[in-house]
Structure 1
Amino acid sequence: MANDAVFVLLVEDDGLIRMSLVEDMEHAGFQVFEAANADEALKLLAAHPEIQALFTDIDMPGSIDGLKLAGLVRQARPDVAILLTSGYLKIPKNDLPGKTPFFSKPYEVDRVVDQIRELTARKHGKVCFTT
């Protein structure tokens, strides 16, 4: 079963939201790495090639925001599924890298989990059935 685990990098500057979401994602069966900003996320991505999905907030402190992080990850690791979220920003679809899913806060965690499963299965040639 461990071979089928999905490795997710969660980037969220709000510690309470991050802690809650990590718990929800682990409960859904994901292996979760967490970062408080894009700078930490880039280090984790470099150190952990097993990461298959990135779920990042857009508006956060650090040298770059989540949108720029998504663009860098899209270029450097096109195999990584990317999902974006924000409670403050509304992003035009044309500004999103590729066909990146966007979730406005507050979002339903089950929808995020289902989207991660679908995207990682598609990128790795697996069939995924969601309920």
Structure 2
Amino acid sequence: MSTKRTHEASVILVVEDDDLVRMNAAEMLEDAGFAVVEARHADEAWLILHERSDIGVLFTDVDLPGSMCGMTLAGRVHDAWPDIRLVVTSGGQRLTDQDIPDHGLFVPKPYSAEQVVAAMHRVA
């Protein structure tokens, strides 16, 4: 199932069920020069990951509707595509970077554009 992603892959998949939060996160990242794809929940993100080979970073909320939460999605992505970097966020749960698979990062909500952009540069 694993498809090797190129190191040049710079598309960030933003997974967030709150439309306003997702649009704001995407705008922050696009303003910083990143290409962004958006998903409303983990199931949609999983389909996108199977359709595209240019995703380099998964930026996901923890609490999502559907068949899996953001942490489950992050674990599945790590197993299937270990070269995709992981950044997880939550306003309701306080995690540490060590809780994220494969040396991923945790960014607590509410976050600033500077925090999100710095996290993307750290995992790249």
**The TM-score by the shorter chain falls in which range?**
0.7 to 0.9
Q: Indicate if the aligned counterparts of 2:90 and 2:107 stay in contact, CA closer than 8 A.
A: yes
Aligned to 1:44: 48
Cα distance per residue 1:93-127 (max 9 Å; x no partner): 5543232211110112212212212322xxxxxxx
Q: Indicate if the aligned counterparts of 1:5 and 1:29 stay in contact, CA closer than 8 A.
A: no
Larger radius of gyration: 1
Asked if residue 101 in structure 1 is aligned to residue 105 in structure 2, the reply is: yes
Asked if residue 56 in structure 1 is aligned to residue 60 in structure 2, the reply is: yes
Of 109, 114, 118, the residue aligned with 1:110 is 114
SS in structure 1 opposite 2:119?
helix
Aligned to 1:19: 23
Which segment drifts farther, 111-120 or 36-45? Answer: 111-120
Of 83, 92, 104, the residue aligned with 2:87 is 83
RMSD: 1.6
Which segment drifts farther, 50-59 or 21-30? Answer: 21-30
Structure 2 CA distance for aligned equivalents of residues 6 and 93 of structure 1: 21
- Report runs of 4+ in structure 1 exceeding 2 Å deviation: 91-96
Aligned length: 117
Alpha-carbon distance, 1:92 to partner: 5.4
